[in-house]
Amino acid sequence: MSHADPLRNLGVHLTSRGGELRVWSADATSIELCIFDEKDTDWVAKRVPLTKGDGEVWSATTRSLQVGTSYALSVDGPDGPTHDFDPGRFLLDPYARGLARTREGGWRSYVQDTAFDWGGVGKPGTPLDHTVVYEAHAKGLTKLNPELPEELRGTYAGLAHPSTIGYLKELGVTAVELLPVHQFVSEQRLTKMGLVNYWGYNTLNFFTPHAAYASRDAQFGGTGAVLREFKGMVRLLHEAGLEVILDVVYNHTAEEGRGGPTSSFRGIDNASYYRQDADGNYIDTTGCGNTLDYGREVTQRLVLDSLRYWAEEVQVDGFRFDLAATLGRGAGAEFDRDHPLLHAIVSDPALAGVKMIAEPWDVGLGGWQVGNFPDGWSEWNDGYRDRMRNFWLRDIAQARGSGSASEGIGSLARRLAGSNHVFALERGPLASVNFVTAHDGFTAADLVAYDRKHNLGNGENNRDGSNDNKSFNHGAEGPTSDETILATRRKAVRNLLGTLLLSAGIPMLTAGDEFGRSQRGNNNAYCHDSELTWLSWDRSEWQEDLFEVVKTLIRLRRENPALRPVRFGRWGETTPSASQMDWYNKDGETMGIEDWDSPEERTLQYLAASTPEFEAFNRILLVVHGLETDVTVTLPAHEGVERYTLLWDSGHDDISEVEGVHRPGEELAMAPTSMRLFRAD
């Protein structure tokens, strides 16, 4: 990198002349480096003034900055409605690689020890079309696992334990997407209520792993111990062929609104880092009190430097960007798909091959931008989520109540085939991250057991959380002993997860859905660090059966490339790694308008053939029936297809007793609301 770049090497870098600290502030009038006594992080042992240089960057070099040194910034500047300078505050370096608590509960930056032996282990580099994402909480995944030593439960080391890795490998997922693991704190409001921010969307610093998820030995193991445990986790997951994706929160910080705790950016240069009007009121497009201003080069650089650090130094494989529309808002706070930061993230040579996933919305004006991110991005597809829930749940509830579902099967088919009405042809189906649940909302088991949210435990009189869940309790609210209702609910979960894992795009499975985890109807459990949110490893027989179903579905996805096309096909052309798709109605005839649109005709047969590029030719038939009535389908006649071999049936936990081989033209009885997958040879 050219030394003409004024934003180079922000933070602390060790040189032969000592540690150099570089801090950006356009409006400060003075900045001091405060170095603390090594035994007392409340006692300033030395103060070193920083000098302002090119590009609004302040710097100082001192031999007192070395590995393990605790330090803070003292920043002074002008008064005014958009400023918040106070030289009496100790502020965190935005680029600090290490953070530690003081005895009084404050925070200090420290110079990190980054040494680590990767042992020659590299990144798995799983292609996007082979990727199956498992969204999990770093603590909640292992906190209750009895196969782990107690001191490792709920830790990074526990996540990398052979028991955890063995479970993930048996399930068949390829990537673990961790809810935020940048150092975070709980909001003041939650602390006063005696609650915590469990999910972690309240970042204190973008370069430091959350220390509370490390084992006690690492937390008290001195400089570098927490980071080493985190890197050790990444290395062991990589050895097992599993990728690590981090959920990152660059849209806002833990400094909250103007009355919030000032820990870093606000005290360094409030007017530059945060969006605000001339009177100092924050322009909040995140709903979290503040919004970082990505109309500025320095904040764009902050994100890129953080991503490079985690991707290179910590060897992380990908990132999921919370409220990513905020990162695409320019000087006027309007979203721009050509925003330089959105393009830089997917074109930076240092980030080549790193998976980039957007949550493509925020709460600001024009904040819903699904399908509108640049090439190179994948996006959470909330339209997919909503359509699948409607088709298998709300439409079924409506049909029970009124005798007719709200719509036909056409919109499900579009989603099943990769949502090409949402994502541009050149981006292809892998631009879509498909999901039916996420950390935020009902679990899959709760979607089929509750019509309403049950969030009283969150302390907001059930006002928080979405009221539009597109769920269906199938005849009883919550737990029931009615075996008919229970069986129907379990089939509904199999339909939801089956659709997810057999659709074109990148599937994301929420941890626990593979065995029917419940949060007792709470659809916003962000403030519960308890058995409500931790995964239980004590499972019933039906839960073990569901696990086997999900494991089978992931295996079938892996074995059948026709289910995971890389590109959209073009009519009349042969496109490598696209799937040739043919659609038939229940009679085995090509779908007509009535078949697509009629609420009475919610049955289709989807024949998909791969166009080989790297894998052998493959063809599948997926039969979907979306009504609570029996139906007879006639298997379609298609050139080159001589038989259909049953691979999976959502109407059964176990298909070993179900007749397996059928011929084109043969009639087949489909169970109510069910799916069947065949290999077509």
pLDDT digits (tens, 9 = 90+) for 582-623: 999 999 999 999 999 999 999 999 999 999 999 999 999 999
Which two structure tokens, joined as six digits, stand for 595?
A: 């078949």
Residue 552 has φ and ψ, to the nearest 5°, of -65, -45
Pairing status of strand 644-649 against strand 603-610: unpaired
Alpha-carbon distance of 55 to 119, in angstroms, equals 40
DSSP-assigned letters across all residues of 630-645:
-EEEEPPP-TT---EE
Alpha-carbon distance of 168 to 133, in angstroms, equals 11
Residue of 628, 612, 369, 380 lying closest to 492 (CA atoms): 628
Residues in Cβ contact with 170 at an 8 Å cutoff, skipping those fewer than 6 apart: 551
Alpha-carbon distance of 439 to 93, in angstroms, equals 31
544 is catalytic: no
CA atoms in the 13 A half-sphere facing the CB of 391: 33
Alpha-carbon distance of 676 to 681, in angstroms, equals 16
Q: Are 318 and 126 in contact (CB under 8 A)?
A: no
Q: Are 511 and 135 in contact (CB under 8 A)?
A: yes
- Report pLDDT digits (tens) over 255-279: 999 999 999 999 999 999 999 999 9
- Report pLDDT digits (tens) over 517-567: 999 999 999 999 999 999 999 999 999 999 999 999 999 999 999 999 999
Task: Collapse the DSSP code of 103 into the 3-class scheme (helix H, G, I; strand E, B; otherwise coil) and give the result.
Answer: coil
Domains of the chain: 11-110 (2.60.40.10), 126-242 (3.30.750), 571-680 (2.60.40.1180)
| pLDDT value of position 657 | 80
Residue of 245, 243, 236 lying closest to 160 (CA atoms): 236
> CB count, 10 Å around CB of 119?
7
Q: Which of 229, 322, 395, 601 is catalytic?
A: 322
- Token pair 């024009």 is found at 366
239 is catalytic: no
What percentage of the chain carries pLDDT values higher than 90? 95
Instruction: Give me the chain's average pLDDT, please.
Output: 96
Q: Provide Rg for the chain, Cα atoms.
A: 27
Which two structure tokens, joined as six digits, stand for 553?
A: 């579905």
| pLDDT value of position 654 | 80
Q: Are 139 and 482 in contact (CB under 8 A)?
A: no
What angle in degrees, to the nearest 10, is found between the helix axes of 340-347 and 297-308?
20
Any idea how long the chain is?
A: 681
Alpha-carbon distance of 88 to 173, in angstroms, equals 50
pLDDT > 50? residue 2: no
| pLDDT value of position 464 | 83
pLDDT > 60? residue 322: yes
AA letter at 496:
L
| pLDDT value of position 656 | 81
Q: Which of 32, 293, 317, 359 is catalytic?
A: 359
Q: Are 269 and 27 in contact (CB under 8 A)?
A: yes
Which two structure tokens, joined as six digits, stand for 354?
A: 């790193």
CA 19 to chain centre: 36
Task: Collapse the DSSP code of 385 into the 3-class scheme (helix H, G, I; strand E, B; otherwise coil) and give the result.
Answer: helix
pLDDT > 90? residue 574: no
Which two structure tokens, joined as six digits, stand for 29?
A: 């009038």
| pLDDT value of position 43 | 94
- Report pLDDT digits (tens) over 324-352: 999 999 998 999 999 999 999 999 999 99
| pLDDT value of position 3 | 60
Alpha-carbon distance of 32 to 20, in angstroms, equals 13
pLDDT > 90? residue 573: no
Q: Are 218 and 228 in contact (CB under 8 A)?
A: yes
Lowest mean pLDDT among 163-177, 439-453, 644-658: 644-658
DSSP-assigned letters across all residues of 580-628:
EEEEE-TTSSBP-HHHHH-TT--EEEEEEEE--SSS---EEEEEEE-SS
Residue of 10, 98, 93 lying closest to 298 (CA atoms): 10
